[in-house]
Amino acid sequence: MAWQTIAKSERDWAVTPNLQNYEDTRRTFSWESALRELDGLPEGKGLNIAHEAVARHADGPLRNHLAFRWLGKNGEVEDFTYGRLHTLTNRFANVLQNLGVGKGDRVYVLAGRIPELYIAALGTLKHRAVFCPLFSAFGPEPIRARLTIGQGKVLVTTQMLYERKVKTIRASVASLEHVLLIGDDHRPTNVPDTIDYRTLMERASDAYAIQPTDPEDVALLHFTSGTTGTPKGAAHVHGAVVAHHITGKLALDFHKDDIFWCTADPGWVTGTSYGIIAPLTNGIASIIDEGDFDAERWYGILQSQKVTVWYSAPTAIRMMMKTGPEIVRKYDLRSLRFLSSVGEPLNPEAVVWSKEVFGLPFHDNWWQTETGGIMIANFAATEIRPGSMGRPLPGIEAAIVRQNGSGAVEEIRDADVQGELALRPGWPSMFRAYWGEPERYKKCFAGGFYLTGDLAKRDRDGYFWFVGRKDDVIKTSGHLIGPFEVESILMEHKSVAESGVIGKPDPVALEIVKAFVVLRKGFEPTEELRRELLAFARTKLGAAVAPKEIEFVASVPRTRSGKIMRRLLKARELGLPEGDISTLEAN
């Protein structure tokens, strides 16, 4: 395999990287030593994410250090020191306590990137309840499905999101006892069957002592999608904080005076592991931007906030590339020293582009909801091979595997051979369950490996190269969407007999959701009906999940056992060879 490399320059090493020698650090690394970087709860009462992230700093020299600077979409700015964050999250933990919420109960938050989301997340963790974020661009159906799977007891949301997305499905989620509403524009809320968040916060005490927390206590529930069935709730434990912390240090190269900006939304795992937890455990300052992507807004933030470490995603990087390099030159971005990207394949051109325009390359890294933290990365100290995801973190053993003739999983040791990317279980942030679905969880492990569902290759120097997904899940603008969730909603429309949903390649979003629809007898494939279906899906699923394109077809290909052959739909869409269609059902 031939590759171009990007060597590092003086600018890349404005500060000495935490990980200087990859091989040495791998050799000497142990999870026990990583754990020793954290404090643990006083008096040996265990390990709690929120203690490591907030309480221990608030009670120490970082009390007045900036934890978060929130930038509102309309220009507001609000600072949260570690001390202030501690008080507010104590209050939220007390709010839960006063409501009778107990250890292990699921607390969902559906909100944009507003301070209350971060306070609720950390307060929930202090209280040892389980924090479950919901992406604010989900529609009522994805919200209902996720609340139902996790049996949510509490939902914190804004009045606007409640009225638009939750009200209609509330009655169908029997477990939901309390809905806490954040009033728009700081106004108190007065909506039947809900409680005003701010009133509760004002009445709650500032003092809260975190109770003993076992590192194996569940802390986070992150939903992700598979090819079939309902979304999966990946459960992570408090002990995951060891991985969040150390990967922040080794893969994102956090140093004590850094100003960090993770552009991901906490509705997805990156926005929680690295948008909330890792920078706080490392005691650094983070920027939270409520606004949506806008290239000039982003460059303005990098400049005005003097961001030093920036963690973003390929779709955003491609959008920046589209706006051109001239705009970047209007900004003074000399404070930047380390750029990183995750979530989708990062095109080699994007790495070269960033080196040209920022003077710094983006460092691609790989992980997924189930792994809880970064597993494979390009590091600050080492050369980059654009197009490669990098090498496994210290403490992580990654392999390429395949099923042999007898169905057993075996490792492929030869370089440059494609197989499934697999990891040896045992790192602290590995998911411990798919909520309520032990069989589905078990299926992810074989031959002593956790099987990631991704196809990849490893080159002779140990760099991993992403090839594609093994299954039919769709990656659109960095978000994983399950085709089944979309197909099921389309089927609810009176005109739809069948549907098959695929990811259609897109130069910016990587893929867009495209649906093929077979109409029931009596319905005509008109432009009007197509528009009606697009709107129907958008209302039910929300902008993040709904199809962007719908095509009417006479039939959807299925295997003889009745499974939709999405691969065939995709091959036909792309004009590619149809591959093995021996299992195709005769129509």
- Residues with Cβ within 8 Å of 341's Cβ and at least 6 positions away in sequence, in order, are 311, 312, 313, 314, 317, 350, 362, 363, 364, 365
Q: Toward ligand AMP, which CB reaches closer, 389 or 529?
A: 389
Smallest distance, ligand AMP to C-beta of residue 418, A: 14
Instruction: Tell me whether residue 51 or residue 363 sits nearer to ligand AMP (CB atom).
Output: 363
Please, which residue, 224 or 286, has the CB nearer to ligand AMP?
A: 224
* Distance from C-alpha of 308 to C-alpha of 393, rounded to nearest angstrom: 22
User: Given the complex with ligand AMP, which of 117 and 375 has the nearer CB atom?
Assistant: 375
Which is closer to ligand AMP, CB of 105 or CB of 364? Answer: 364
Cα–Cα distance, 303 to 154 (Å, whole number): 39
Question: Minimum distance from CB of 433 to ligand AMP (Å)?
Answer: 16
Residue 187 Cβ vs ligand AMP, minimum distance, rounded to whole Å: 35
Question: Measured from the CB of residue 473, what is the shortest distance to ligand AMP in angstroms?
Answer: 8
Least distance in angstroms from the C-beta of 369 to ligand AMP: 3
What pairs with residue 178 in β-bridges?
154
Distance CA 444, CA 449 (A): 8
Residue 397 CB, nearest approach to ligand AMP (Å): 17
CB 398 within 8 A of CB 464: yes
Placement of tokens 């559906």 in the chain: 110
Q: How far is the CB of 578 from ligand AMP (least distance, A)?
A: 24
217-to-63, 96, 247, 331, 387 alpha-carbon distances in Å: 27, 18, 21, 46, 38
Give least dist CB 143 to ligand AMP, A.
17
**310 and 300 Cβ atoms separated by less than 8 Å:** no
**CB of 158 or CB of 224, closer to ligand AMP:** 224
Q: Name the residues that contact ligand AMP, by CB under 6 A.
A: 224, 269, 342-345, 364-366, 368-369, 389, 452-454, 466, 469, 475, 480
CB of 370 to ligand AMP, least distance (A): 7
Q: Which is nearer to ligand AMP, 266 or 345 (CB)?
A: 345
Provide the 8-state DSSP code for 66: E
- Rounded CA separation 39/47 (Å): 8
Task: Output the smallest distance, CB 465 to ligand AMP, in A.
Answer: 9
Number of neighbouring beta carbons within 10 Å of residue 54: 31
How far is the CA of 157 from the CAs of 141, 164, 305, 553, in angstroms? 16, 11, 28, 40
Comparison of 187 and 443: residue with beta carbon closer to ligand AMP = 443
Check if the beta carbon of residue 272 is closer than 8 Å to that of residue 262: no
Of 162 and 274, CB closest to ligand AMP: 274
User: 193: which DSSP letter?
Assistant: T
Tracing tokens 């434990």 back to the chain, one arrives at 237
In order, the DSSP letters of 335-357 are T--EEEEESS---HHHHHHHHHH
Residues 387, 3 contacting (CB under 8 angstroms):
yes
| φ, ψ dihedrals at 362, nearest 5° | -75, 135
**Nearest in space to 248 (alpha carbons), one of 275, 218, 267:** 275
Q: Is 407 exposed, middle or buried (0-12, 13-18, 19+ CB in 10 A)?
A: exposed
Pairing mode, strands 309-312 and 362-366: unpaired
Instruction: For the CB of residue 364, give the shortest distance to ligand AMP in the complex, in Å.
Output: 5
Nearer to ligand AMP by Cβ, of 8 and 469: the residue is 469
Nearer to ligand AMP, 479 or 493 (CB): 479
